Amino acid sequence: MPAVLQAQVADIADGYRSTLVLNIITLCVCIFILHVHDETTWASLAWFGSAIVVIAARAYAMQALTRRGALMSAPKGSLTILSLGALALGLIWAALPWTVANFEPLGRHAPLFLMMGGMAAGSVIKQIGYTPLALNYSIPILISLMINLIGIWRLNEVLVGLCLSLMIFVFIRRSIWAENMFVSSQVARHEATALADSLTRANSDILRQNSRLEALANRDTLTGLANRMFFHGRLAGDIARATVVKEQVALLIFDVERFQSINDTLGHSAGDALLREIAARLSFIVEDGSLIARLGGDEFAVVVSGPEALERARAHAAAVLEASRRPIHWHQRQAVVGLSVGLAAYPDHADDAEELLACADMALYDAKRGDRRQLREFDPDLRRNAERKRIIEQDLERAIDTGSLGAWFQPQVDLMSRRITGFEALVRWQHPQLGFVSPPEIVNAARTVHLSEQLTARIAGDACLLARRLPALGLKDVTVALNVSPREFALYSVASMLHRVTAAHDVDPSALEVEITEEAILDPALADEQLKQLEQAGYKLAVDDFGMGHSSLAYLIGLKVDRLKIDRSFVKDVARSETNQKLISAMVSLGQSLSLEIVVEGVETPEDAAILARLGCGTAQGYLFARPMPPSALDTWIAEHQPTADLKRKAKAKHLSVA
């Protein structure tokens, strides 16, 4: 066991210096005794010098092993070296009787005999930790004495020599026993120490794990702020306390503007560094003990409780918004990162923690929907709007399937002859609970709940039903237009959907007109391929809200658009606006140069219609001619507004249908 070997080395090293010093003193005494008896010879001096050299070598070896750290790092090798040194010195001592002429161990040389025996016995007693070293030193000395005693061959010397041989046997057994005891004690000590260390480490690990678990339970690992779990507990606790002491609890929710783009362009490490900087800035600004938490992603929260909580929350929000105008520096980069803030308060806006968080979220969403970088306080209208939005999204699919949602149609007429030239299909929904639901609400809800394709397919189906009836009503070659939101081109294949619908209703694609806004045209990667497919299939194409975007003329020519619909913002009060008249005249000239029919929307007065006709506009739609109407009202309106030249065809069609 390495630990036992290290303990044996340490035991030897502990008394090594005193052992060598004792050897030197004893050597000097031996030489002095020989000198007193006038028995000093070159042999005895050589013996003394050899002993001094061996002692010096042993001292140097111990110093070298200590300096290199070999005593602990290589204890087994160190013990071998030290044992060899002990053997060398033991052999030197064993040679002493052979350097003295006529050595008499029990006579005049008894002092030398006693000193040699004492050194051997002392070695066995002192070096109980490692038997080989003690025996390497003592056995050569004792054997030398035993040989000298028995060699004299006198009774006394022989008896002492035999006793000495017995002593050698006892020394060997005693040394082995002592070493075993030493090893056993060291093993027990090591095991006890290891157990104590293990318990200490286990206790430290438990404390460290507890601290880590506590930190994980309460702290966000990225920013060091409170995490979402701790935030919920603190918010509920503050509200419970506020209920008792009749105080307010204000909640601020912060959202980082353009954070996703930073993550996408600079990487997640840059995003993490930015979040840490924002957290540091919040901690620096909010110093009144309010809880600051990271709810996840790029969303932070501040819970303000105590006296004047709402006013303090407003002050915090204003300070944070002001600070957000300054650049944030991180990783040798900088950026101005705006924040949007939503604020709600208990009990003014909510009755519990969950409702308060929902109110603050609604206020934040309203802030992000506006100009951003601003504070929005919760307004009850936000809850009503959110509930309305939820109901619309919840009931939309059923309305599409049951037909309670469908298309109404607004006629398009020739400005000169007032002949009907087409109809535009407009989505309409009269909700049983909410009443009229506006088209933007319907389109946004469909996108949210992934029903855009089903919604447009429903309107396209109603348009196909009308297109099949129009010839019987005396309106041949009259198209029905339907709007396609630009974003729909990215959600599904509009061309494939329209192909399925027209095939199911047996309607020629040329009977339908697809109205798209300019922003769809400006994104070829999004809509180009599908628009080409629509064109090749025979659908007529119209650009809706023309003039509000920046259409490429080359793209309009290449796409073979049939009609341009001038946005109603240019048409309103055109009779009194010279600027609008010039703009419309320019757009009409553009359309004529590209052989495109011009349609104007939002015509409401005869004066506007007259000006538009004079400016060269051919087709118009608006409240002056008709409001959007359900399919059931179209027959009557068409009968009343069909020009006189078409009455015979209408009567003939009616006669054939009766027959």
Q: Which helix (H) or strand (E) holds 333?
A: strand 333-335
Per-residue model confidence as pLDDT tens digits over 253-311: 999 887 877 777 777 788 888 888 889 999 999 988 899 999 988 899 999 999 999 99
Which of 67-81, 183-197, 311-325, 522-536 holds the top average pLDDT? Answer: 311-325
Looking at residue 642, its pLDDT comes to 74
User: Nearest Cα to 571, choosing from 552, 545, 594?
Assistant: 545
Which of 40-49, 105-114, 396-405 holds the top average pLDDT? Answer: 396-405
Looking at residue 370, its pLDDT comes to 67
Q: In the structure encoding, which two tokens stand for residue 205, read together?
A: 């690990």
User: Nearest Cα to 38, choosing from 89, 90, 126, 100?
Assistant: 100
Per-residue model confidence as pLDDT tens digits over 174-199: 666 666 665 566 566 666 676 777 77
Window from 94-98, 312-316, 401-405, 464-468 with minimum mean pLDDT: 94-98
Helix count and strand count (H, E) for the chain: 27, 16
3-state secondary structure 231-295: HHHHHHHHHHHHHHHCCCEEEEEEEECCHHHHHHHHCHHHHHHHHHHHHHHHHHHCCCCCEEEEE
Mean per-residue pLDDT for 423-442?
A: 94
Looking at residue 263, its pLDDT comes to 76
User: Nearest Cα to 135, choosing from 143, 123, 119?
Assistant: 123
| 545 pLDDT above the threshold of 90 | no
| 96 pLDDT above the threshold of 50 | yes
Percent of the chain with pLDDT over 90: 36
Looking at residue 590, its pLDDT comes to 85
Can you list the pairs that 310-316 forms with residues at least 24 positions away whose Cβ atoms lie under 8 Å? 310/248, 310/250, 310/345, 310/348, 312/250, 312/288, 313/250, 313/251, 313/252, 313/343, 313/345, 314/343, 314/375, 316/252, 316/285, 316/286, 316/290
| DSSP state, residue 509 | G
Looking at residue 628, its pLDDT comes to 95
Mean per-residue pLDDT for 376-393?
A: 89
Per-residue model confidence as pLDDT tens digits over 448-476: 999 999 999 999 999 999 999 999 888 98
Q: In the structure encoding, which two tokens stand for residue 451, read together?
A: 């029903």
Per-residue model confidence as pLDDT tens digits over 198-250: 777 777 776 777 666 665 678 888 888 999 999 999 999 999 999 999 999 99
Looking at residue 283, its pLDDT comes to 92
| 480 pLDDT above the threshold of 70 | yes
- Residue 373 and residue 257 in contact, taking contact as beta carbons nearer than 8 Å: yes
Looking at residue 651, its pLDDT comes to 45
Looking at residue 215, its pLDDT comes to 59
Per-residue model confidence as pLDDT tens digits over 618-629: 999 999 999 999
Looking at residue 158, its amino acid is V
Looking at residue 172, its pLDDT comes to 67
* pTM passes above 0.75: no
Mean per-residue pLDDT for 51-77?
A: 81
Looking at residue 345, its pLDDT comes to 94
| 522 pLDDT above the threshold of 70 | no
Looking at residue 6, its pLDDT comes to 63
Q: Quote the CA–CA distance of 429 and 442 in Å, as a whole number.
A: 8
| 78 pLDDT above the threshold of 60 | yes
Greater confidence (145 vs 513) lies with: 513
Mean per-residue pLDDT for 378-402?
A: 91
Looking at residue 550, its amino acid is H
| 330 pLDDT above the threshold of 70 | no
Q: Quote the CA–CA distance of 112 and 33 in Å, as a whole number.
A: 8
CA angle 457/388/356 to nearest 5° reads 135
DSSP conformation letters of 444-483:
HHHHHTT-HHHHHHHHHHHHHHHHHHGGGGT-TT-EEEEE
Query: Cβ contacts of residue 467 below 8 Å, gap of 6+?
Result: 479, 480, 507, 511, 512
Per-residue model confidence as pLDDT tens digits over 555-594: 566 667 888 888 888 888 888 889 989 999 988 998 888 8
Looking at residue 645, its pLDDT comes to 40
E-strand stretches of 512-609: 512-517, 540-546, 563-566, 597-601
- Give the catalytic positions in this structure: 601
Looking at residue 525, its pLDDT comes to 61
- Residue 535 and residue 495 in contact, taking contact as beta carbons nearer than 8 Å: no
Looking at residue 171, its pLDDT comes to 65
| 644 pLDDT above the threshold of 50 | no
Looking at residue 107, its pLDDT comes to 74
| 45 pLDDT above the threshold of 80 | yes
Query: Cβ contacts of residue 196 below 8 Å, gap of 6+?
Result: none
SS3 for 609? helix
Window from 15-24, 281-290, 411-420, 591-600 with minimum mean pLDDT: 15-24
Strand partners, 563: 542, 597
Mean per-residue pLDDT for 107-118?
A: 77
Q: Quote the CA–CA distance of 514 and 539 in Å, as a whole number.
A: 7
> What is the dihedral angle through the alpha carbons of 565, 567, 572, 574, rounded to the nearest 10 degrees?
-60
| 407 pLDDT above the threshold of 50 | yes
Looking at residue 190, its pLDDT comes to 64
